Structure 1
Amino acid sequence: MNTANLAIVGVMALVAVASAFGLYRAGGKSQKAATADQDVKDAQDSLNRASAMAQAETDKPATESDVLARLNRGDA
C-alpha cells in the first residue's frame, strides 16, 4: 500500500511539473505575441502619421508661381 501511494504522489508531482512548464512556455509565447502586436500597432501608427503628413503636403495651397512653373514643365 505504501508503494502504491508513493507511485501516485510521484505521478501527481510529474504532472504538476509538466503543467507548470507548459504554462511557463505558454506565457512566454503570449508575451512574444503581445510584443509583436505592439510592433504592428506602432508601425501602423507611424504609417498613418506619414500618410497624414503627405496628405497635408498635397492639400497645401500652391502659390501662383508654383502653378505656373508646373504648367511650363507640363506637370499640372
Structure 2
Amino acid sequence: MSTANLAILGVMLLVGVASALGLYKAGGNSQKAVTADQDVKDAQSQVAQQQHMEQRGADAPQTVDELLNALDKGQA
C-alpha cells in the first residue's frame, strides 16, 4: 500500500468513528428528552391528583348539619 492509500484509509476511519460518536451522543440526548417528557407527565399527573383532592375537600360537608343531612341521604 502506498502512503496515499494509507492516508485515505485513515481519513475514512476517522470519519466513521466521528459519525458513530455523533450518533451515540444524539441517542443520549434523545433518551434525556424522553426522560424529561416523562417527568413532565408525572408532574402534571400529581398536580391533577392534588386538584382533585382539593375539590373533593371543597365539596365535602363543612358543617355538622350538612354532614348529618348527607348521612341521612346516604351520600356520605
- Structure 2: where are the runs of 5+ without partners? 68-76
Partner Cα separation in structure 1 for residue 34 and residue 43 of structure 2: 14
Matched with 2:2 is 2
TM-score where L is the length of structure 2: 0.73
How many residues align? The count is 66
TM-score where L is the length of structure 1: 0.73
- Aligned-pair distance for 1:65? 6.4
1:20-59 deviation line (CA, Å, top 9, x unaligned): 1111111111111111111111011011011011111112
- Structure 1: where are the runs of 5+ without partners? 67-76
CA distance change for structure 1 residues 52 and 65 in 2, over 3 Å: closer, same or farther?
closer
Partner Cα separation in structure 2 for residue 65 and residue 55 of structure 1: 17
Identical-residue share of aligned pairs (%): 62
